[in-house]
Structure 1
Amino acid sequence: MKLQHVLFPLTFAVGLSFIGVASAHGAGDSVKPNFSQPITNIPGKSLIAVEVLYPPGGASLPHTHAKSSFIYAYVVSGRIASKVNDGPERIYKAGESFYEEPGSRHPVSRNASKTQPAKLLAVFVVDSNDTPLTTNE
């Protein structure tokens, strides 16, 4: 599913339809819903996972995420260059992970390779009504 600066509702098999997803990804990148479920023992919170697929040389635009979201990012394949807030830019390879605190800026998120694709799984713990998940800066 291609997303390019679009906000739309997604309906998941688990019955959630509140999710707004805004893409901060450039031409050729894609975001694919993976999982969404309210956290029943934490009222008002949800767990949402998306797969970010980067083609060779693909990059996201600088972006922020929903203010309430804590994000765990896991590199499924390839290598991802990432910079969160004013921290250093770092390259993560398949099997490595990083996180973003609520309210963080993500000025760099890109495929570190010009020849191989890369995939990132981003897992959000977020207020259920806090949308969109991603906004361009």
Structure 2
Amino acid sequence: MSMMKVLALLGALTPAAALAHDAAGHGGAAPLPVVSDVMTKALKDYPGKEITLISVDYPPGTVEPIHHHDAHAVVYVLQGTIVMGVKGGKEQTLKAGDTFYEGPDDIHTVGRNASQTEPAKFVVFILKDAKKPLVMTGP
């Protein structure tokens, strides 16, 4: 993913994150996740598919907007504690070394830093159709 795509993604998430945070009754804007592209690679053995690896930093208090990936996504927590959940599933609290899976039909309804004082960091491995966007906001 190019830096322009990352910036466009963050621009798209900004209003939704603010609305999600305000709707949760926290008042004020929540910090946004900082998403960095690590790599994207076309998979020759799987025509039309690619794998993308992103790094996500959650400043203290980060709350993500509802979104989905239309892809297989595996989260691996590197630092801190995060809370993740998909529609119809239970929220899961994850710490360094824990993993979380989202399928193509899952709607990611919960994504937040469990701490108001400590940052969190994780990587996400995403297997997706090459022509589809990395993330789509809303259900």
- Whether 1:59 aligns to 2:63 is yes
Aligned length: 121
Question: Sequence identity of aligned pairs in percent?
Answer: 31
Structure number having the greater helix percentage = 2
Unaligned runs of 5+ in 1: 1-8, 12-16
Residue 11 of structure 2 corresponds to residue 10 of structure 1: no
Taking the aligned partners of 1:39 and 1:115, their CA distance within structure 2 comes to 40
Q: What per-residue deviation string (whole Å, max 9, x for no partner) do you get for residues 34-90 of structure 1?
A: 11101111111100011111001111111111x2x1001111110110111210111
Pick one of 84, 99, 103 that aligns with 2:86.
84
Deviation at 1:21, TM superposition (A): 6.0
Q: Alpha carbons of 1:106 and 1:28: their partners in 2 closer, same or farther (altered >3 Å)?
A: closer
Instruction: Using structure 1 for the length normalisation, give the TM-score.
Output: 0.79
Output the CA distance in 2 between the equivalents of 1:101 and 1:118.
Answer: 23
CA gap 1:22/1:28 in 2 versus in 1, 3 angstroms:
closer
User: How far has the Cα of 1:20 moved from its partner?
Assistant: 9.3
TM-score w.r.t. structure 2 length? 0.78
Asked whether the 8 Å contact 2:53–2:125 carries over to 1, the reply is yes
86-95 vs 22-31, which deviates more? 22-31
Alpha-carbon contact 1:21-1:134 (below 8 Å) kept: no
Q: CA RMSD in A?
A: 2.2
Q: Please state if 1:136 is matched with 2:137.
A: yes
Structure 1 residue ranges, 4+ long, deviating more than 4 angstroms after superposition: 17-21
Q: Which has the higher strand share?
A: 1
Report SS of the residue matched to 1:22: helix
Structure 2 gaps of 5+ residues are: 18-30
Is 1:40–2:41 an aligned residue pair? no
